[in-house]
Chains A and B, each alone.
Chain A
Amino acid sequence: MSEIVDVTTLRSWLIRFAGDVEEHAAELTELDSAIGDADHGSNLARGMKAVVSVLADDSTPPSIGPMLKQSGMALVSTVGGASGPLYGTFFLRMATAAGECDALGPDSLAAAFRAGLEGVVARGKASAGDKTMLDALIPAVDAFEAALGEGKPFGDAIRAAADAAEAGRDATTGLLARKGRASYLGERSVGHQDPGATSTALLFRAAATTMIDGEDGK
């Protein structure tokens, strides 16, 4: 198995995601104000800013597991609310699955994504269709595994993951919220796109951009 996602690329992914969250912070908060408590954008932006500063502290990046663990802990320690533990757990479980290595092959990356996804499910006790970040995360990880299983090249697989996350994000608009504060809205939650699924779609688009096109995503 070729090892094509190295520690530098993963680091670029996180930094790119941080930039995208910053850029879309107002939009995420606006989505959250319709069905939640109007802080998803500002909270996640604060957390990713902390991740970037943790990553910037290392002139030589540690191996993949420790880097993802530091990032996950930075999120858990700065965000609060629900998105801190959920995104934090995603990266912490990815870290455990990846372990101490300098690069991951496609299958190892898929295993790390799967472990992260399972962590989010366990932490949030939600499932597909509950109108949460899982409605983008589950299709993304499924699509990535499926594409690899069909023997498609890595680039196509990670692009398929990003496309699936965005399709999942769009589909949350018609769903009835059953978890988190939006659940208290009941029927009134229908018609609004889920902010968590929206930020997760950004996460996978950032992965596709940095992992296919290299460090600066160009």
Chain B
Amino acid sequence: MKKLINAPEDVVVEALRGMAAAHPQHLRVDTANRIVYRATPAAPGKVALISGGGSGHEPLHGGFVGPGMLDAAIAGEVFTSPVPDQVVEATRRADTGAGVVHIVKNYTGDVMNFEMAAEIAAAETGVEVVSVITDDDVAVQDSLYTAGRRGVGVTVLAEKIAGAAAEQGRPLHEVADVVRRVNENGRSMGMALTSCTVPAAGRPTFDLPEHEMEIGVGIHGEPGRRRVPLAPAKEVAAMLLEPILEDLRTAVGDTKDVIAFVNGMGATPLLELYLMYGEVSALLAKAGVNVVRSLVGPYITSLDMAGCSVTLLRVDDDLVRLWDAPVNTPGLRWGA
């Protein structure tokens, strides 16, 4: 393992300390509770939006804290969900009196810890919490897997779009509904060229031979649906897009206008991500799908894994307007 770290057990706190030092005008970091929150809290009456999960997916979630997006983010150990105490503290701190939306990726640990946190918050703080779970990964749609789909790329889009809705002053249940709409209309699929290496484990999570790739990989390097021989980007784009489009059309109907998101898993350069976007965009044009907005880059990563994921979000005018609204965070910024 070759990593720029001091000691594996200090990685999360030291990274948070670095974030605080790098963005003093934007962020404050509570290293004891491992919470990233806005340097300038939102005005009273704005619904608070918080999210969190295991560390190792940066800029998700801490990098998306700021005006137009999240109010606070909670960091767990690497690839391990935060504990309820952290989530309760972030909830209490982010609430302006208008309630708090928790955006939770559908991973067993995240779901249970946020669920316990919401119960404790309701009982002990009186803050109104609505939790919405994202589960957009078509790789694990088989009904046998009752844990359900995983929550991956759509989480980034949901945080941006719902963040704008909250900033507009929409009430708690409407903001939560925006998250649900984004989740229902978004689908993702990922692939890996190499494994990631968790600092505490010290070695790659899985072995992937030089000439193979994993299709349907998750954001913790957990295996996908199948291993196939390495193929040109053009074919990879088709392997990822076909199940996404098929699922969207079956589940929500005609898919005309979309936001297309090509995400890097951490170790794949932008050169390759743009190349992939070119293939994705060509295939979408051929399929009669109109890309109204796009996002390309590493936004929900898996440490040092090489690979990418594709997310398509079916949009209407309201969602596009919310997408275009100003956002000012370390990880995503425009119009502000």
Q: Which residues of A contact B (CB under 8 A)?
A: 33, 37-39, 42-43, 76-82, 84-86, 88-89, 123-125, 178-181, 183-186, 188
Contact B113 A80, beta carbon cutoff 8 Å:
yes
- In the assembled complex, which residues on chain A have CB atoms less than 8 Å from the CB atom of B76? 80-81
Output the least CB separation between A38 and chain B (Å). Answer: 5
C-alpha spacing A37/B195, complex, angstroms: 13
Apart from A85-B112, A185-B223, list 19 A-B contacts with CB within 8 A. A33-B201, A33-B205, A37-B80, A43-B80, A76-B116, A77-B85, A80-B83, A80-B113, A81-B81, A81-B109, A85-B115, A123-B115, A183-B145, A183-B146, A184-B139, A184-B145, A184-B147, A184-B222, A188-B223
If A37-B79, A78-B83 touch, whether A180 touches B201 (CB-CB below 8 Å) is no
C-alpha spacing A123/B107, complex, angstroms: 13
- In the assembled complex, which residues on chain A have CB atoms less than 8 Å from the CB atom of B295? none
Q: Does B46 contact A (CB under 8 A)?
A: no
Our pick among A43, A76, A184 for the contact of B218 (Cβ within 8 Å) is A184
- In the assembled complex, which residues on chain A have CB atoms less than 8 Å from the CB atom of B223? 184-185, 188
Q: Does B38 contact A (CB under 8 A)?
A: no
Query: What are 21 A-to-B residue pairs whose CB atoms are below 8 Å?
Result: A33-B205, A38-B198, A39-B77, A76-B116, A77-B83, A80-B76, A80-B80, A82-B108, A85-B112, A85-B115, A125-B146, A178-B147, A179-B147, A180-B108, A181-B218, A181-B220, A184-B139, A184-B140, A185-B223, A186-B145, A188-B223
- Mask of B72-93 contacts with A, CB within 8 angstroms, 1/0: 0000110111111100000000
Q: Does B142 contact A (CB under 8 A)?
A: yes
Size class of B's contact patch?
A: 35 or more
Our pick among B107, B116, B142, B201 for the contact of A85 (Cβ within 8 Å) is B116
If A38-B205, A181-B222, A184-B223 touch, whether A85 touches B113 (CB-CB below 8 Å) is yes
Contact A80 B218, beta carbon cutoff 8 Å:
no
- In the assembled complex, which residues on chain B have CB atoms less than 8 Å from the CB atom of A88? 116
Most A CB within 10 A of own CB, among B82, B115, B201, B218: B201
C-alpha spacing A43/B198, complex, angstroms: 14
- In the assembled complex, which residues on chain B have CB atoms less than 8 Å from the CB atom of A84? 83, 109, 112-113
The 4 closest A-B pairs by CB, nearest first: A85-B112, A81-B109, A82-B109, A80-B80
- Mask of B276-295 contacts with A, CB within 8 angstroms, 1/0: 00000000000000000000
Output the least CB separation between A43 and chain B (Å). Answer: 7
B129-182 interface (Cβ within 8 A of A): 139-140, 142, 144-147, 150
Interface SS, B side: loop
Nearest to A78 among chain B residues (CB) is B83
Q: How many A-B residue pairs have CB under 8 A?
A: 98
- In the assembled complex, which residues on chain A have CB atoms less than 8 Å from the CB atom of B220? 37, 181
Q: Does B252 contact A (CB under 8 A)?
A: no
C-alpha spacing A179/B145, complex, angstroms: 7
Contact A178 B145, beta carbon cutoff 8 Å:
yes
C-alpha spacing A107/B67, complex, angstroms: 57
B183-235 interface (Cβ within 8 A of A): 198, 200-201, 205, 218, 220, 222-225
Contact A179 B113, beta carbon cutoff 8 Å:
no
Nearest to A92 among chain B residues (CB) is B116
- In the assembled complex, which residues on chain A have CB atoms less than 8 Å from the CB atom of B144? 178, 186
Our pick among B77, B142, B225 for the contact of A80 (Cβ within 8 Å) is B77
Nearest to B220 among chain A residues (CB) is A37
Contact A76 B84, beta carbon cutoff 8 Å:
yes
- In the assembled complex, which residues on chain B have CB atoms less than 8 Å from the CB atom of A78? 83
C-alpha spacing A81/B109, complex, angstroms: 4
Contact B150 A80, beta carbon cutoff 8 Å:
no
- Mask of B3-23 contacts with A, CB within 8 angstroms, 1/0: 000000000000000000000
